[in-house]
Structure 1
């Protein structure tokens, strides 16, 4: 219960890694703001389940993070309900796979807005409260693609490299305010985001589903195993501890050895 009395906002947290973050933080007593899209009944069930973990309150925002004004509304909702955000996890993201000359412009714009620009907007709005409290944790779900590239993923790789640079920059800016900023870079985690890109990759590379999983998704991970959302969430939980107060500006690889090669 080391997070009792603190509030965490996790973007893209109605499923996958984001929901794993929310569950881990709620279990330690944090109030939670979840955000994302999905079936309304499923989301409400998850919200209620978070409140059973250790009695903390959980609320839901359906903010479209590609729209700065909606992000502002979400951050105001968190401030009105809890006073402000102590822990910000910028996790929301989407993916598209296509050769650069065929890459739809609207997909580029969407991925940059959601995967990169949204983190700027949430952070700029969360930092004043964190500075006032003299404590804060800002965590970004980056990716192994923040350190390495793969073909046919121009927007995603660009956004994730941007997140890595953004994290280092704000870590330096906030270093004397009791606020840390770190990125976590998973390899392939079995989530809807990964599963949904398989058909596009099959088309782009002219491969079967089985070959995409074996020869594309897991080819670069020496362990030949998918990362689990719970493994990623465990890193985030550590970064929120007082023992991690001097860990800032770091980019943690959780990728089965992918970026070691």
Structure 2
């Protein structure tokens, strides 16, 4: 098993659990899929990428093969998180195939670091739909399945609320879409507090080496200031292994959660070990 899958140890806690991950064909979603697969989980790879892309490696089918090789069971589904019928159909297929759904991870995302004036309406709508609206839609459709699990989870990859003007002024449309994910998650945690479903958000302390960093935020040189996606995978795994809703309603940072779970050395997560001391803090987080 490749070291790309994990640094922290797997416990077997997710064996037989069914994890529904949006945007799992590459990046952080793929890393979470492989981490959970190494525990023996059933992974639904729900993403749009069914055919190879010339610049972006990975499809739902290649990740499915990796999931099976890592020790899990895979169900690749081509799906657009904006389409209600597609999301509903994917969740039903997941439940029919594996007997239920235990966790939903809202990982699919759209990003454009542009101001209100510079953001075209179509781009604005895209970010709101794929980011904030998808949290509502997947939760709305998944809750009936998750209520049947004894340890259901809804985990959204969004930042803790930080309304400092310096984070809002430069790219308010994107900030609104990501904070919308967090606000919906906070509301869901309250709404579902009497159920068995835990709801939380997770965000990286540093930049993470993904296609978003390379093509939407900057360039590949920024990978030297980034950690590998597995840092978020290890943190997400810890969330999913937490029982009795111990993290429900929280806005988590990967590094802080992993430190709390005993991780002391983060150097192995650096994309470039020689630059491990020069990592950049991610958006919406104060140094």
TM-score range, shorter chain: 0.7 to 0.9
Which residue is equivalent to 2:181? 163
- Are residues 1:123 and 2:131 paired? no
Alignment of 1:175-194 (within 5 A): 175-186=193-204, 187-194=206-213
Which residue is equivalent to 1:21? 32
SS at match of 2:108: coil
- Of 50, 54, 69, the match for 2:67: 50
- Are residues 1:33 and 2:44 paired? yes
- 1:83, 1:124 → 2: CA distance? 19
- 1:120, 1:37 → 2: CA distance? 19
SS at match of 1:89: strand
CA deviations 1:119-176 (Å, max 9, x no partner) are 11111121112212332011110136x5352544222210111111111111122222
Indicate conservation of the 8 Å contact 1:8/1:85, yes or no: yes
- Of 108, 111, 122, the match for 1:95: 111
Which residue is equivalent to 1:203? none
Which residue is equivalent to 1:195? 214
- Of 143, 147, 156, the match for 2:159: 143
- 1:180, 1:118 → 2: CA distance? 18
Distance 1:98 1:29, change over 3 A: same
- 2:149, 2:46 → 1: CA distance? 24
SS at match of 1:180: strand
Runs (4+) off by over 6 Å: none
- 1:114, 1:141 → 2: CA distance? 12
Which residue is equivalent to 2:230? 230
Q: Which runs of 5+ in 2 are unaligned?
A: 1-11, 53-57, 256-279
- Are residues 1:80 and 2:96 paired? yes
CA deviations 1:198-217 (Å, max 9, x no partner) are 46xxxxxxxxx69x95xxxx
CA deviations 1:1-48 (Å, max 9, x no partner) are 221121000001100000011011111111000022335364222211
SS at match of 2:199: strand
- Of 1, 11, 15, the match for 1:4: 15
- Give the root-mean-square deviation of aligned CA atoms: 2.4
Indicate conservation of the 8 Å contact 1:135/1:177, yes or no: no
CA deviations 1:41-66 (Å, max 9, x no partner) are 64222211201212x32011111112
Indicate conservation of the 8 Å contact 2:113/2:217, yes or no: no
- 1:128, 1:244 → 2: CA distance? 19
Q: Give 1:242 deviation, angstroms.
A: 3.9
Q: Give 1:111 deviation, angstroms.
A: 0.7
When normalised by structure 2's length, the TM-score is 0.76
When normalised by structure 1's length, the TM-score is 0.83
